[in-house]
Structures are given as C-alpha cells and as structure tokens.
Structure 1
C-alpha cells in the first residue's frame, strides 16, 4: 500500500534538521513548542538514579519526548537511533553493564561532538575500565551504510527522532535488518491524528519542532506490518500542547501525542497461541511488577492470561527467561483456578492519553495505569 502522502526531499530535510539541531538549538529551552514532553508514566527509581549520573551539558541538549529506556537490558547490545548528545546512551550504558554495549547513531556532527566529549567522563563515573559506548555518524534510514551489522542488536531505541526522518518506512526496514531475531524496537515519538498536509510538511520550523513530520498513528501500524515487525504494542501516551500561538495557528485542527511503542522482530511462522504466564520478578528494578505495555501489568508470581501476539513475543525475545509459561488447558486443570486479566485499552494513542489523564503535560511524573483487573474479584 502506498503512503497517503509523498515524502519531502530527503537531502533537503536532512540538511534542515542538521542546521536546526546543530546550529539553531543550543539547549532544550530553545525549542519553540512543547513537543518534547516528559514521560506519562512515573520514571522508575533505578532509571532516575541513572539519569543523575549523566553530565549536565549532555542533559541540556536533550530533545526527547518521553522515556525510551526499556527493561531487562543487562548484557544487551543496544542501538540508539538519533542519539543526539547521548543522554539515553549514557543512561543505558549503566543499565547494560560492563558486559553490554551501547551504540549511538546521529547525522548531526555538532550533537555527536558533545556525546563523544564525555565518554571518558562517564566511563570513569560508572567505574568501567573500558568504554561500553561508541558514537557513529550516519542516517537512521541507512544503518547498514553507516557500517552497522545485520542481525546484531538485541534492542534499538529512539526518542523523538523518527518524525524527523523524510522516509519512515526505510527507518523501520533498516531497524528490522540490524536487529537480531527476537530483538526489539522500543521508541517514543510524536504522532498526529490525521495525515499532515503537504504545505505544513514543507515548513522547516514545524518539521524541526517534531510536528509536521509526525506520522499519522495508523500509518505506524501499517508500516510495521509491511516491514515484518510484530503488531505494535502501545506502552504509554501523553497529549502534546503545542504552546505556541503562531505555530498552533499554522497547524489548524491537527492534534498530537507523544507515544511509546514496542515492536519485535520474531521468527517467521511462529505460533500465536493464547496462554497463561507468571512473571518471576527477576528483572532489575522491577522485582514486584513489570508494566509491559498499557494493557499488561505483570505482578510477581501472579498468573495472567496473555493474547497470542504477546505470548509469541514473550516466548521468542529476551523476556523468555523472565516468565513461566503454561497453556490455558493446563491452567484449567486446577479446580477453582483463576488468573489476572489485562486492562482493556484503546488502540489509539490519543484515546489512551485521555484515559491516562495526561493533558497535564507539565507534570514530570504523570499518571500510570490503574490497578490490574483480576477474575478473582
């Protein structure tokens, strides 16, 4: 299926974004809109601690929208698409540990200069004898051209960058190629409530502010399927209030959200059978519960029913060792047995954002999902 609109000239977009993030913006306070919103979910203590260890100059040039730090990353190879000054890379450097590795890729040399400047500082701070972080200049639409290996990374993250690309389909295709089987693309980005018009997509400021290049959220679902990824799992969403009268006037009736999704590269023809699972509580920092997405909150040692898509993900990814699996038939053999059910959540990130009460984007903690529904109630 063809996209609902043509993409702007790639070279012009790349040059414009390089200028905007390399020359015009000096720190996050220079942004003209509120597109860079905080996470709608509370930030776990272990991540908050890791954030405090990042050098202030690196943090000052952070332009993300949400939190792109997935769980269960110890020892993993992680790639950050559009890493900028390296904030998320240095957070993940601490979480993957000495046995893991983080690669940051960005096309803007000015941003990479800041990221590279503080490699030694962070390695000393973290107590590492040798760096577990490196930075590569390249385009997120052409990862293999930048020298990145196919079937190499366990996890790819991205924080408010895909919207800046003139070719989203190529970004997803390249991510799919360099991920290992069972690997995950975990990313926060800006989405629109409808396809953006050609005239607005040509506006350099709106594009640089992460607005006019935003995907219509339904296009993400379609593109992911076309590339071969699993159905996108919606983790959280926050309403974006543009906060600039001039830009709001230009945008007219368009609405935007920041949403976090997780996509997995799974074995071809793998089974998708609904089953029962129990979280073992062994993921660092999440010993009591693990919020996989907006619908599924796994409590330690509590049996939960999962749909076929999620069962396929859990069995064929790095999460396989974190769960005990059984079929529903096995679960039904125990008289009086019951298990927790997932929350019913909307497919639309706009409806989820409303459900989470995230219109108050000024809050740095936001609201998390409510208590898990259980069939035992």
Structure 2
C-alpha cells in the first residue's frame, strides 16, 4: 500500500510529462487476479511482468489468470529467472536465496509444460543470459548444500493467447514480409531469438509464427504469403532441447546483462 501511495502521488507529474493519463493502480495478489473486479476476462491486450512470477508460490495460477484475462491474440511478455534443473526443496526454503530470485526459479522445461497446460501453446524465447552468483556467501551456501552445478538464467518470453497454435512448428510453405513500420525498428524486427525479419525481405515461417503475426497486434506491420491448404511436415529446426543459447557458453555474464530481468 505504501508503494501504491507513492505511485498515485506522482501520477499527475507523469501524466503531464508524457501526455497520458490512462494509468490505474490496483492492490492485489498476482495469484488472485480474480479478486480485482475491474479486470474482466478477455479484456487485456498485453500483460508485462519483470521478475515477479518466480516469487509466487502458485505460478500456474498466475499463468491461468493471465491467459483468461488476455484477448484472443493478446500477449504475456515477461522476464524472469529460470533454472537448468528443478530447484531442490531445501533451496526453495532458503529465505536468502528466495530473496535473490534464485530458489523460486522454475526449471525451464517445467515452465514450458506449465505454460502449455495453461493455454499458451507455443512459448517463444526472446532473449536470455546466464546469471552468475557473484555473492561469495551465496556461492558457499549453495556449494555447502551440494548444488554447485545448478545454473540460473535470466530470460524474456512471449506467450500468446491463440487457440489456433499447434503443439509443434509445422510447415505450410508460408512466408511473411516485414514492412519496417514498427517505431524504432524500421530496418528489422525480432519476434523472438530465432525470428529476426529484415524490412522488405521474404522470410519463411512455420504455421505458428504465421499466426503469431497475422492474428495479433503485429498484423498491420507485415505482408503475408500463403495459407494452410498444404502441409509439408515439421518445420525444419523445430527442436525440444534446452532453449537458452547462453547455456552453451562458458564463463557467464553479470546479472546486469541481457534478458531484461533484475
């Protein structure tokens, strides 16, 4: 409530500075969005979160609520912390590690399966970076518990509310052409970590990517080639291995870099 008080007190200043007065602040629990009466099912275009969901005990409830609140074609765009394996219960109960946004991290594959159960059929990784534990006391704490090899990643995901998405990337011979009309991304734009589309260039896509662009707010920025009349099999390069490119790198980077998280 104290944070909301400060936010509301400074709201007129920001409205005048940026020219918009369309912000509302509500007090509630992210796991219980049903309790906020002004939030109606299918009413939200985009939900943005930064390093909050990993601190929630019931993460599945959060994702289910977000899916319910989003309009068809809406998006949950968020950064958070993920683990290379399931975080042991003894670490989950460690208050210091929990406060550092580490012990609440989901194992990346559990997260993807959870997202799919909640209706987000094809989670898309936007960017990621390894998190190095630079606090010596925390390092020693984890080593003493026998979890020296547990790795953490800061990652940003897009989750779309689209019932038409398939479990895997299927090939229908489709392609898109980016118009270069998204502000600040005139020369090219990235949907995720493996779909960077240059302006004016024909870019082959799977059926899911086609729908993520055609059935969302991005449609006006693309020309679309093809349909779903002919299926050519699985789209080349559609895999199920650990998605974080940074997991292949040695040395890691500072927690300040990449992923937009914490």
Q: 2:189 aligned with 1:313, yes or no? A: no
> How much does 1:262 deviate?
0.5
> How much does 1:134 deviate?
1.2
Q: SS state of the match for residue 26, structure 2?
A: strand
> How much does 1:239 deviate?
0.9
**Using a 3 Å threshold, how does the CA distance of structure 1 residues 212 and 166 change in structure 2: closer, same or farther?**
same
Corresponding residue of 1:234: 125
Corresponding residue of 1:361: 254
Q: Is contact 1:264-1:313 (8 Å) kept?
A: yes
Consecutive unaligned residues of structure 2, counting only runs of 5 or more, are: 229-234
Greater relative contact order structure (CA < 8 Å, 6+ sep): 2
Q: Is contact 1:141-1:171 (8 Å) kept?
A: yes
Q: 2:32 aligned with 1:142, yes or no? A: yes
Corresponding residue of 1:264: 160
Corresponding residue of 1:176: 67
Q: How does 1:119-198 map to 2 (within 5 A)?
A: 119-128=11-20, 131-147=21-37, 148-198=39-89
Q: TM-score, normalised by structure 2?
A: 0.84
> How much does 1:219 deviate?
0.8
Q: SS state of the match for residue 6, structure 2?
A: helix
> How much does 1:309 deviate?
1.6
> How much does 1:359 deviate?
2.4
Q: How does 1:24-35 map to 2 (within 5 A)?
A: none
Corresponding residue of 2:188: 289
Q: SS state of the match for residue 134, structure 1?
A: coil
Q: SS state of the match for residue 223, structure 1?
A: helix
Q: SS state of the match for residue 137, structure 1?
A: coil
**Using a 3 Å threshold, how does the CA distance of structure 1 residues 356 and 123 change in structure 2: closer, same or farther?**
farther
Q: Is contact 1:267-1:316 (8 Å) kept?
A: no
Q: Is contact 2:128-2:156 (8 Å) kept?
A: yes
Corresponding residue of 1:348: 242
Match of 1:219 among 110, 121, 124: 110
Q: How does 1:37-52 map to 2 (within 5 A)?
A: none
Residues 108-148 of structure 1: CA deviation (Å, up to 9, x unaligned): x23323322321111111134xx111111111111121221
Q: SS state of the match for residue 31, structure 2?
A: coil
Question: In the aligned structure 2, how far is the partner of 1:200 from the partner of 1:247?
Answer: 11
Consecutive unaligned residues of structure 1, counting only runs of 5 or more, are: 1-108, 330-340, 367-377
**Using a 3 Å threshold, how does the CA distance of structure 1 residues 169 and 365 change in structure 2: closer, same or farther?**
closer
Match of 1:280 among 165, 179, 182: 179
**Using a 3 Å threshold, how does the CA distance of structure 1 residues 155 and 342 change in structure 2: closer, same or farther?**
farther
Match of 1:201 among 92, 99, 110: 92
Corresponding residue of 1:325: 224
Q: How does 1:60-99 map to 2 (within 5 A)?
A: none
Q: SS state of the match for residue 189, structure 1?
A: strand
The count of residues paired between Structure 1 and Structure 2 equals: 245
> How much does 1:354 deviate?
4.5
Q: TM-score, normalised by structure 1?
A: 0.60
